[in-house]
Amino acid sequence: MAKKHHPLRVVLIVSLSLMVALGATFLGYAGIYYHAEDVTSFLQSDETVEVQQEGQRITFIPKRAKAGLVFYPGAKVEFSAYSGLCHALSQVGLYVILLHMPFNLAFLGTGEAQGIPFSLPEVGDWYLAGHSLGGAMAASFIAGDLAE
């Protein structure tokens, strides 16, 4: 005689198996991304820009900040790949904060810019920008922030 399985047990095992499979698929997908090539020169301070790496962000500080810019990287792109752009923007007077996004996916870190302008009131005007999905999530953050 065949062993009878309790229906709830079967549902739990199937559900758990699906969650593990989906999690593994997501981690596999997120683990394949564009890596930054040699950006070490852009991550060094020089006579015009001070570079600070603090946890999940890189900050490019000009000698005299005209305004600030928070930058959201594109999906599946290592955030430091944008350090050349950010360093160049800082050389013309922008205080630039380059944010790291969880799993290199901006939709998982839409609110990462929250509070940055208030923590640096001496900078004055602030802008928010991004590349590809990062630009869409920056716009989404602004739309949500303005709606509240």
Residues of the chain above pLDDT 70, percent:
95
Measured CA distances, 7 to 13, 16, 141 (Å): 10, 14, 44
Judgement on whether residues 71 and 26 belong to the same structural domain of the protein: no
Q: What pLDDT digit, counting tens, does each position of 42-97 carry?
A: 999 999 999 999 888 999 999 999 999 999 999 899 999 999 999 999 999 999 99
Under a CB-based contact definition with an 8 Å cutoff, are residues 84 and 37 in contact? no
Give the separation between CA 62 and CA 110, rounded to whole angstroms: 26
Give the separation between CA 122 and CA 126, rounded to whole angstroms: 11
Judgement on whether residues 46 and 100 belong to the same structural domain of the protein: yes
Judgement on whether residues 13 and 50 belong to the same structural domain of the protein: no
Judgement on whether residues 8 and 61 belong to the same structural domain of the protein: no
The 10 Å Cβ neighbour count of residue 33 is: 15
Under a CB-based contact definition with an 8 Å cutoff, are residues 56 and 99 in contact? yes
Question: By three-state DSSP, how is residue 48 classified?
Answer: coil
Q: What residue numbers bound the domain in which 57 lies?
A: 40-147
pTM of the complete model: 0.81
Judgement on whether residues 54 and 88 belong to the same structural domain of the protein: yes
DSSP string, 72-98: EPPTTB-GGGGHHHHHHHHHTTEEEEE
Judgement on whether residues 143 and 94 belong to the same structural domain of the protein: yes
